[in-house]
Structure 1
Amino acid sequence: MSEKRLRRVLATAVFGAALAAIPAGPAVAAEPAAACAWQKTVWDLPPGAEIGEVDAYDGSRYAVGITGLRPLWGDGVADPRGTLWDNGKVVFRADTSVPHLRDVNASGLVIGDTVVDGVFHAVTVGHGGQVTKLPANPAWTSSSAWAVNNAGDVAGWADAGSRLILVVWPGNAPGTYRELPTPQNLGYHHLADLDEQGRVIVQTDAGTGGYVVDPAGQWRVLASMGADGSSTPWGIRGGRVVGSVDGAGSYAAAEWNARGELVRTIRTGLREGVSLGGNGTIAGYGSQSGVVLWRDGAVVAQPITTNFTLAGLSDDERTIAGVEAKRPSHYRCS
């Protein structure tokens, strides 16, 4: 199972344990599109693959994840191989377990990492499987790319001995990179998302759980509920961050601004925010089973009532991409 999917599964399990303490959601209000019917489409799998996972969705047509075989026991995917989809059709599948495909933008630029001479390197991956290393500092012992925006900015990590570095490869300056200072003793670190203005959100286990990092390298803690609380960010768009918070035995979906200030906690209808659409709607997990769309203080649609792992909401807010019953798929409002 991929790190990103594992993190989300664990978070979902934790929040699920608190559902009894959360009020049931309200009746669904008007849908985001008039006369809307949500129809499911199951995506193609490459020859020989039985199941798959979706790790990233560009909000329009492209998605990346893994495909492989059903494991003999347990969860996850056996013999996982990075896979790129275009509108649910397989464009490319890696021949081996690397390269890892971490993210893709609306132009189809795929980023991730691969192993060269026993060392991980941040790379871009062409639709035919061509791997191109991103520029690196010789002092780095490894690097990996985790997120790309539509401007072509790529964000990821580099290790330099005992030092962890947040790295941005700017889309408007090919062949260059910026090293951003990283707090010491960060512990677990997952780069969850990158917005069009170059802001990064990071999940950690270092006390607070979440940060928003601006393009200048300023790390801001995402506020939580109480001194002992923590935050888990999942999506960012235009400096608006969504995720969840916990503290004092209470859980809630949450929204922060670009300064890390807690704008609101959401306790009715939505228990975890995952993705933001182009009109500001939050897609996430509901107080009950399934995926909901939340906007302006209320649930505006509950397109999915089954166990669905959400990868993202489209820019036009009419498509929800993810995985259901171990099959990549999407629901489309039409």
Structure 2
Amino acid sequence: MTHTTRRTLAGISAAGLLATVLGVAASAPATAAPRAAALGTCKISTLPYPTDTYRADASVIDPSGRFIAGDGLRETEDGNQYLLLFWDGDRLTEVEAPSMATPADVNADGVVIGNGWGEGVNGQPWRYRNGKVEQLPVVPSATGISVTAINKAGDIVGLGTDVDTGEYFALRWPAARPGTVEVLDAPANAQPRGITANGTIVGTAGDFGYWTSWVRRPNGRYDALTVPGAQTSYVSAAAGHWAIGHVDLPDSIWVPVRWNLRDGSYTTLDPQSPSLEDVNAKGVVVGADRVVRGATSRVLPGGSDEVGIGARSISDTGTIVGFRNGERLTPVRWTGC
């Protein structure tokens, strides 16, 4: 049975700020990744969603596969009504938002983080926990503040822009110090993109189009994430001891790559999967209409020439969430893939 709870978001005005990730890529020593699931077991199903919406999407899933977050849009007499959608299994909770809101990540405790616009604030990230949405603290001297990832402990990472220089800088909201935000000593123009269970952070730095990628160890040490000969490197997500992104090589651009964070080694992924959205702790990658295991990929079911699909996030159990765009945009879940 599907259960739906409807709530109103009164304490925050949210508008999605998630930065679009551009990729680049490489090749080299391959590391072991999980075996492909048995053919024929991969199935798609529609998540419960408000039937009066004309679009609904599932953006993120937690590592356990239990919690999912997304957004929706319904038309009212006063215009569009934006919704945040939170699933606990098949139990759906709707939260009405005064403006567009976008979830960025969710952890195994069901804590969701996301981005939006606040009253007089250029960039107001938020957190949803215990059935309530709350604003996260921001840096007064910054603009465009957004969150990108949260780990099991509740540590959150994100970025802001210096109002004077226009450069990005890295931010962390430490779970051990509630109500605080700190600026990390990171490379210039740093943009954190992921944080793992042990506090390892990955991100990109540098000017637009001249990116380099980095990993910040729990002890504060920074190492490069790259590939020999790469002109640029862009990391987009991390989980366990894996990170994914792209590198730009002299003879090949936008090559999808999976790095092993333990030693910096890398594997070039199937070039048919140029879009990388997420990776789980087992190194399985999703993006566009594909799931990537090892160096090969397979197309997810549910799409056609007339119907588009998109995988956005994958749990450690292998459950994938995203959207199906047929007569309307609907949230979907893939299992056994």
The structure carrying a bigger helix percent of its residues is 1
CA distance, structure 1, for counterparts of residue 126 and residue 277 of structure 2 = 26
1:333 maps to amino acid: G
Conserved 8 A contact 1:274-1:310? yes
Which of 73, 83, 86 lines up with 1:84 in the alignment?
86
CA distance, structure 2, for counterparts of residue 92 and residue 209 of structure 1 = 39
Report Cα offsets for 1:173-194 as digits up to 9, x if no partner.
Answer: 333443202433x2xx754322
Tell me the TM-score normalised to structure 2 length.
0.72
Q: Once superposed, what is the RMSD of the aligned Cα atoms?
A: 3.7
Q: In structure 2, what is the equivalent of residue 322 of structure 1?
A: 322
CA distance, structure 2, for counterparts of residue 133 and residue 171 of structure 1 = 15
Counterpart mapping for 1:182-331 below 5 A: 182-184=186-188, 186=189, 191-203=192-204, 205=208, 207-208=210-211, 210-215=213-218, 218-224=221-227, 226-227=229-230, 229-250=231-252, 251-258=254-261, 261-267=264-270, 270-278=273-281, 280-285=282-287, 290-295=289-294, 297-299=295-297, 302-304=299-301, 306=303, 307-317=308-318, 319-325=319-325, 326-331=329-334
TM-fit CA distance, 1:2: 5.3
1:235 maps to amino acid: A
Distance 1:52 1:230, change over 3 A: farther
CA distance, structure 2, for counterparts of residue 165 and residue 248 of structure 1 = 29
CA distance, structure 2, for counterparts of residue 310 and residue 320 of structure 1 = 7
Q: In structure 1, what is the equivalent of residue 148 of structure 2?
A: 146
Conserved 8 A contact 1:56-1:64? yes
Unaligned runs of 5+ in 1: 16-28, 71-77
Tell me the TM-score normalised to structure 1 length.
0.72
CA distance, structure 1, for counterparts of residue 17 and residue 324 of structure 2 = 18
Conserved 8 A contact 2:109-2:152? yes
CA distance, structure 1, for counterparts of residue 191 and residue 150 of structure 2 = 14
CA distance, structure 2, for counterparts of residue 208 and residue 145 of structure 1 = 20
Unaligned runs of 5+ in 2: 1-14, 26-33
Aligned residue pair count? 297
2:20 maps to amino acid: R
2:197 maps to amino acid: E
The answer to whether residue 107 in structure 2 is matched with residue 105 in structure 1 is yes
Report Cα offsets for 1:217-240 as digits up to 9, x if no partner.
Answer: 55544314635x333323212332
The answer to whether residue 7 in structure 2 is matched with residue 7 in structure 1 is no
TM-fit CA distance, 1:309: 1.8
Q: In structure 2, what is the equivalent of residue 118 of structure 1?
A: 120
SS at match of 2:124: strand
Conserved 8 A contact 1:224-1:230? no
Counterpart mapping for 1:9-88 below 5 A: 31-32=36-37, 37-59=41-63, 60-68=65-73, 80-88=82-90
Report Cα offsets for 1:16-46 as digits up to 9, x if no partner.
Answer: xxxxxxxxxxxxx9743x6862221112222
